[in-house]
Amino acid sequence: MLFTNLFNKKYENENYTKIGLKENRRSSDNICSLLNQIGSVESVSIADVKTDPCIPEVKEYESAEDIQTIKDSFIEKCGKLGIELNNSAILFRGRSFGEEHFELASNNSQNHPWKDNHYYVRDLVYGKYLMEKGVFKESFLLLEKGYYKLQNQDLTFISRSFLRKQLNDKGYRLYRSELFDFINLLPVTDNKNLLEWINETNPILEQSGYKKLEVNTGKANVFIKGLFHRQESSEWPFNMGTIHSVKGQTFDAVLLFLKKKATKNYTTLLAPEYCELDESKKRKDKEEMRLVYVACSRPKRLLWVAVPNTDGMIWKNYFGLNNGGL
């Protein structure tokens, strides 16, 4: 609430540069109503599916069989609504959930080239790769986050509130020009392996006053294209993956599975008396809830959130669904 009040105060101050974010071009009125319950900025649907009648739902599971039943019901619902499966997504907070319940191949993080505390390097490489492919919105978000993390490595993550502050402090024109000046420094990724690209990039960045990018050099002799080839499960006809894997993407329908806890039990994070005094832990808690928002903001028409049956009511209250609907 303190952040919301502070943001609103700055938004109304004519001395701050601001960009209106109230128009939602993706989701229906019903999904926007849910997002307004959990987000800091209210949005109004201007999407082509604005009047879609589907109301977001919280589904409850107790067993592995329940999870499969919910998945099957979601697929059936998509069929009834005329939603093609390649325009739907099943998401979860951690990849281990997909490995356990949907037979996703293990990500084998021991073999990836990204170093601990330098994962933003992936955002920069992936963002540049996508920009060259013409995926401008998703690439810009990745490059924006990676650019500021490169310069603020003490931060656990780069939040949207942090980026808004940068925008307010610098003004829109300077904010954009600095970012694009940086992006233009990055070499092309086409037909290059990661180690080659890093070795080409670092002298350019150092000459411009930036820190070097670090990767696990022993595991970086791989083609960039191969690193970012989207790997969903081998057989599923719909999109499946973690919340992180679909940032910036849009689907007609989303089924989000949440477990009992992430960094903490969700019941702790959602409790009215929640109070975390440790600022580092508090930032991580906010990031967990932000990821829930990200997932819920992906669909245009249909949103289901599946949670443990012991937590169903608290999630319904959080989403404003406690009276059976919005």
Alpha helices by DSSP H, listed for the chain, are 2-12, 29-38, 64-81, 95-101, 120-132, 136-151, 160-170, 172-183, 194-207, 224-227, 266-270, 279-296, 312-319
pLDDT at 4: 45
List, in sequence order, every residue forming a beta bridge with 91; answer none if it has no partner: 241, 256
Task: Tell me: pLDDT of 117 over 90.
Answer: no
What phi and psi values does residue 114 have, to the nearest 5 degrees?
-85, 135
% of the chain beyond a pLDDT of 70? 84
CA gap 324, 326 in Å, rounded: 7
Reported as a single tens digit per residue, the pLDDT across 181-226 is 999 999 999 989 999 999 999 999 999 999 999 999 999 998 898 7
User: What is the mean predicted confidence (pLDDT) over 69-73?
Assistant: 91
Q: Which pLDDT score is estimated for 220?
A: 92
pTM over 0.75, yes/no? no
**pLDDT tens digit string along 13-27?**
656 554 455 667 788
pLDDT tens digit sequence for 122-137: 989 989 998 998 878 8
User: What is the reported pLDDT for 23?
Assistant: 66
The domain limits of the chain are: 52-105+232-319, 110-227
Averaged pLDDT score across all residues of the chain: 84
Whether 3 shows a pLDDT value over 70: the answer reads no
CATH architecture, domain 52-105+232-319: 3-Layer(aba) Sandwich (3.40)
Q: In this predicted structure, what is the pLDDT of residue 231?
A: 44
Query: What digits encode the pLDDT tens for the residues 235-253?
Result: 467 788 889 888 889 999 9
Residue 11 has pLDDT above 80, yes or no: no
Q: What is the pLDDT of residue 292?
A: 92
Is the pLDDT score of 41 beyond 70?
no
Single-letter code of the amino acid located at 286: K
What separation in angstroms does the CA of 1 have from each of 6, 135, 233, 304, 309?
A: 9, 35, 40, 27, 28
Q: Given a cut of 90, is residue 102 above it in pLDDT?
A: no
For residue 45, what pLDDT band results from cuts at 50, 70 and 90? Answer: low
Higher pLDDT, 108 or 290: 290
In sequence order, the β-bridge partners of residue 312 are none
Report DSSP letters for 160-224, one per residue: HHHHHHHHHHH-HHHHHHHHHHHHTTSPP-TT-BHHHHHHHHHHHHHHTTPPPP-B-GGG--SBH
pLDDT at 320 exceeding the cut of 60: yes
Per-residue pLDDT tens over the stretch 262-308: 778 898 898 888 888 888 888 888 888 999 999 999 999 999 999 99
